[in-house]
């Protein structure tokens, strides 16, 4: 089963982010397609990393999909991604929002 901690560890190793928050939203999808009672199927990722500078949203998502290819081939049913470079104005916003909710690490 995929876990938020395992996803975070893998993304930290791949991208050296300045900020990352991974949330398991599986409980909110109980009874929906792809959901399992034990969770580990639906995740939200918020990540800020220099590697995303100059890349399109699609290119950023492809990088993350590649880093999590094993998980996506197995347990993960849904993955919502917000990926930004540190110099983007909204990057500070996603960090602030996550910190207010008690999520994420720098």
What domains does the chain contain, in order, with CATH numbers? 4-100 (3.30.300.90)
pLDDT tens-place string over residues 45-92: 999 999 999 999 999 999 999 999 998 888 788 899 999 999 986 666
Q: Are strands 42-48 and 19-24 parallel, antiparallel or unpaired?
A: antiparallel
Residue 69 phi/psi, 5° resolution? Answer: -60, -40
Return the closest-CA partner of residue 36 out of 44, 24, 47: 24
pLDDT: which is higher, 35 or 72? 72
Confidence of residue 106 (pLDDT cuts 50, 70, 90): very low
E strand residue ranges, 41-89: 42-48, 78-84
Residue 96 pLDDT > 80: no
% the chain with pLDDT above 70 = 70
Q: Helix (H, G, I), strand (E, B), or coil: what is residue 38?
A: coil
């Amino acid at each position: 089963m995929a876990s938020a901690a395992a996803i975070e560890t893998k993304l930290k190793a791949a991208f050296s982010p300045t900020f990352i928050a991974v949330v398991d939203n599986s409980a909110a999808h109980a009874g929906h397609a792809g959901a399992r009672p034990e969770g580990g199927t639906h995740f939200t990722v918020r990540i800020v990393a220099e590697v995303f500078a100059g890349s399109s949203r699609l290119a950023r998502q492809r990088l993350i999909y590649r880093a999590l290819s094993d998980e996506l081939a197995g347990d993960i049913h849904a993955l919502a991604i917000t990926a930004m470079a540190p110099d983007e104005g909204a990057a500070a916003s996603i960090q602030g929002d996550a910190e207010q909710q008690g999520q994420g690490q720098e």
